[in-house]
Amino acid sequence: MTMAEGDLAVTELAFVRHTPIAPRPPPATMTGALGWLRANLLSSPFNIALTILIGLLLAWAIPEIVKFLFIDAVWTGSDREACLEFVQHRAIGACWPFVWERLPYFIYGSYPISERWRVDVFFVMLAIGIVWLLWLNAPRRDLGAIYFFLILPVTSFILLTGWSAIGLRPVDTVLWGGVLVTIVVAAVGIVCSLPLGILLALGRRSRMPTVRLLSVIFIEFVRGVPLVTVLFMASVMLPLFIPEQWSPDKLVRALVGIALFASAYMAEVVRAGLQAIPKGQYEGAMAVGLRYAQMMRLVVLPQALKVTIPNIVNTYIGLFKDTTLVFIVGIFDLLRTIEVARIDPKWATPVTSTTGYAVAAIFYLVFCYGMSRYARAMEARLTKGDRR
Amino acid sequence: MATDLPASARPASVVFYNDPRVRSIAYQVALCAVVVFLVYGAASNAIENLARARIASGFGFWDQTAGFDISQTLIKYSSRSSTYGRAFWVGLLNTLLVAGIGIVLATILGFVIGISRLSSNWLLAKVAGCYVEIIRNLPLLLQLLFWYNAVLKALPDIRDSHSIGGRVFLNNRGLFLPTPIFKHGFGGAEIALLAGIIGAIAYRVWARKQQERTGRQAPVLWVTLALVIGLPLATFILSGAPLSFEFPQAGRFNITGGTEVLPEFVALLFGLTIYTAAFIAEVVRAGILAVSRGQSEAAFSLGLRPGPTLRLIVVPQAMRVIIPPLTSQYLNLTKNSSLAVAIGYPDLVQVFTGTVLNQTGQAVEVVAITMLVYLVISLATSLLMNIYNSRMALKER
């Protein structure tokens, strides 16, 4: 009774609102573009100073880069005359005709012109294999793996080196160069390092002391020395250890060096994944009567590799960048072909080097950044189950 | 049931070749046999191949006269009288020089960029992020070639060199700086510096004890500055400024005197610093993110301002996460300095695995020595790292 009376009394009071006040919009300086600016760029005197400083830096750097790459760039021409400041009487940016003329050299090296279709076929086959494996919804990815790890290496080898019996003219690896060599070195490193790395990682965690010792020695030794010295070892010491008649060519030696180097790093990545698998998984597998190989293949490795995929891709990015080091042992990878082309008197101008390096930078940036984006997307997808 | 023997007391019913112990031994023996066979084959091939190519073996070359010049030598070296052994030390010192300076610079730059990436300033965070993404995704060798060929070699030649007051010169042959000449009596300032450093450390220890006892803070920064900089400076001026400089002299075709910093050195230092800093920035960022938010919130609620919070609460805890990967970045920088060979900076690999190997042809010995050096550096660092880790690990019950 009293409560109802009280309520009635309150509702009758003139100064009590009967309807709720509509929420007022936040102050204009806290929302929208202005609020964002305030919070993210101008929150304190120090931040204002920083913003102005960086703004000035960008206002100077970005136009310079755009001017060099596009506005002042030379787009047509047949030799260095087109890209010389004192001939053209204007500011000169990137010298694109140089890249345009040398593009086949950057891609194929000195591969015979009539045989270059073979390299194109190789690129297409590789692209199919990569898409098949990396696109997670692709049909029959098991066939894709067989294609990538078995069929592709064999056919590419026959295609690129040649086989007279089926009418493919043999091409010496000395003639290979440019993107072709970069891709071949990277692909061999990628294809060899994973299985070798898994074997070494399993060896390092083995219960057999000899196996463990040998794996540890190999891994720590390779990881302790620079790749340059491994490549030097492969290129000057390997021929000594092998009977003279079998002596491998320069490219194969570098490939051996890269593959061994990459597999030692891969072993550590895989080992980290193996360590992340709880002991119960091993014990469970043993309890249902699986043998060592079955336990690893069916239970442990699928889980271990799943958690390490991002790290594996990161190792591949490192490997892809490291392929440039074959330059030092005299192999004509992309960087080396650019080095050779840039000092060619026909195109020697003050901007030729920078133009060449810009091309290389774009190439490596596209590949490495693409791989790292893929790794991140993969990580997000694989950890979806862990996030709730 | 109860009358059955327990499983352990029953004799093994498996055939001997299914016994895990027998198998394990068999596998190991087989592996050893393969390894021994490979090593033996490689060694016998090497002996045969070396004999055919008439290449000497052994380390006799170490004491032979080298007969080639090295463009940067930290210790006395001459092509006519110095040995290959001396050349080795010259190369090793050059490697350590560029690695040492590179580590210091990369750490500073890496910390600045790593912290910038977490800044509340959107522009700064984005620029730092772009730096990391671009630099990490470009091969170091490309960056070195860019700095060397496109930047430093594009500087004006000697006649048009950039100069600061005619005392410092920069051109495509390098950076020419004045050489300090320490006169008699400079030792006083050195002793004062040493005394200042010891004094500053003692003062810090005292100040900390004082704070723990009474809660009062002593002006540590100012006293340290006064002791480390002021004291040596005062001694230096009082003893009559016993220091002069030998300035580089610009000629028509050459610059004489002064200290020359090779463009190869600058390019390598730039490349290594900028490349490694991007990786260090990521390490630092991960370390800071690993400290839970509650830590800094607790600090704020105790009334600490952002500066001391970062310095006293966040960074000490982040360091535990940062230090191990940071060390491996230092090792990477040291190993990457071997790329010097591509731009001709006379480091260990360029001098020893390059020139000495070409002259002597003794590939096995030369490559083995070079690898041993890097291995010793790596293993020593990991040893120190393990000691540090065990000391820094969280003390739990």
Q: What is the 3-state secondary structure (H, E, C) of B242-310?
A: CEEEECCEECCCCEECCEEECHHHHHHHHHHHHHHHHHHHHHHHHHHHHCCHHHHHHHHHCCCCHHHHH
What's the gap between Cα A310 and its chain centre? 11
Report the domain count for chain A. Answer: 2
Residues 6+ apart with CB under 8 A from B50: A240, B57, B364
Which one of B24, B27, B119, B123 would you mutate to disrupt binding with A, by most A Cβ within 10 Å of its Cβ? B123
Is residue A191 located within the same domain as residue A303? yes
Residue A199 lies in a domain: yes
Residues 6+ apart with CB under 8 A from A259: A188, A189, A192, A193, A196
**Mean pLDDT (chain B, rounded):** 86
What per-residue confidence (pLDDT) applies to B7? 53
Q: Which residues of B touch A329 (CB under 8 A)?
A: none
**Contact flag B370-A210 (C-beta cutoff 8 Å):** no
What per-residue confidence (pLDDT) applies to A1? 45
The answer on pLDDT for A230 being more than 70 is yes
Is residue A248 located within the same domain as residue A372? yes
What per-residue confidence (pLDDT) applies to B12? 57
Residues within 8 A of A (CB atoms), B 179-218 only? none
What per-residue confidence (pLDDT) applies to B1? 44
The answer on pLDDT for B9 being more than 70 is no
**Mean pLDDT (chain A, rounded):** 88
Which ipTM value was assigned to this complex? 0.88
Torsion sign across C-alpha atoms B90, B95, B96, B100: positive
Reduced to 3 states (helix: H, G, I; strand: E, B; else coil), residue B164 is strand
Residue A117 lies in a domain: no
- Encoded tokens for A40: 């993210």
> Residue A11: pLDDT band by 50, 70, 90 thresholds?
low
Domain that holds residue A38: 28-69
Nearest to B153 by CA among B349, B344, B339, B334: B344
Q: Which of A127-141, A146-160, B247-261 has the lowest mean pLDDT?
A: B247-261
The answer on pLDDT for B397 being more than 90 is no
Q: Which residues of B touch A57 (CB under 8 A)?
A: 127
Residues within 8 A of A (CB atoms), B 121-180 only? 121-124, 127, 133-134, 136-142, 145-146, 149-150, 153-154
Q: Does B295 touch chain A (CB under 8 A)?
A: no
Contact of B378 with A224, CB cutoff 8 Å: yes
**Contact flag B138-A364 (C-beta cutoff 8 Å):** yes
Q: Specify the amino acid at residue A380.
A: A
| Interface A-B: count of C-beta contacts within 8 A | 152
Q: Per mean pLDDT, which of B121-135, B169-183, B220-234, B305-319 is the most reliable?
A: B121-135
Average pLDDT of the segment spanning B320-346: 92
Q: Which residues of A touch B35 (CB under 8 A)?
A: 214
pLDDT, tens digit, 9 for 90 and up, residues B255-304: 777 788 889 999 999 999 999 999 999 999 999 998 888 998 999 999 99
> Residue B2: pLDDT band by 50, 70, 90 thresholds?
very low
What per-residue confidence (pLDDT) applies to B189? 81
Is residue A55 located within the same domain as residue A194? no
Residue A143 lies in a domain: no
**Contact flag B139-A239 (C-beta cutoff 8 Å):** no
Residue A303 lies in a domain: yes
What per-residue confidence (pLDDT) applies to B5? 52
pLDDT, tens digit, 9 for 90 and up, residues A30-54: 777 888 888 888 888 888 898 999 9
Of B124, B142, B363, the CB nearest to A357: B142
The answer on pLDDT for B4 being more than 60 is no
Contact of B142 with A61, CB cutoff 8 Å: no
pLDDT, tens digit, 9 for 90 and up, residues A270-298: 999 998 889 999 999 999 999 889 999 99
Nearest to A127 by CA among A62, A183, A203: A183
> Residue B395: pLDDT band by 50, 70, 90 thresholds?
low
Tokens 């305030």 belong to: A38
Is residue A179 located within the same domain as residue A309? yes
Q: Which residues of B touch A237 (CB under 8 A)?
A: 363-364, 367
Is residue A221 located within the same domain as residue A366? yes
Q: Does B45 touch chain A (CB under 8 A)?
A: yes
Which one of B126, B155, B337, B338 would you mutate to disrupt binding with A, by most A Cβ within 10 Å of its Cβ? B338
Residue A317 lies in a domain: yes
pLDDT, tens digit, 9 for 90 and up, residues A152-162: 999 999 999 98
> Residue B11: pLDDT band by 50, 70, 90 thresholds?
low
- Encoded tokens for B389: 């880790």
Q: Give burial (CB, 10 Å; 0-12/13-18/19+) of B2.
A: exposed
Q: Does B72 touch chain A (CB under 8 A)?
A: no
How many whole angstroms separate alpha carbon A7 and alpha carbon A5?
Answer: 5
Is residue A262 located within the same domain as residue A376? yes
What per-residue confidence (pLDDT) applies to B45? 87
What's the gap between Cα B201 and its chain centre? 26
- Encoded tokens for B394: 């969280």
What per-residue confidence (pLDDT) applies to B112? 93
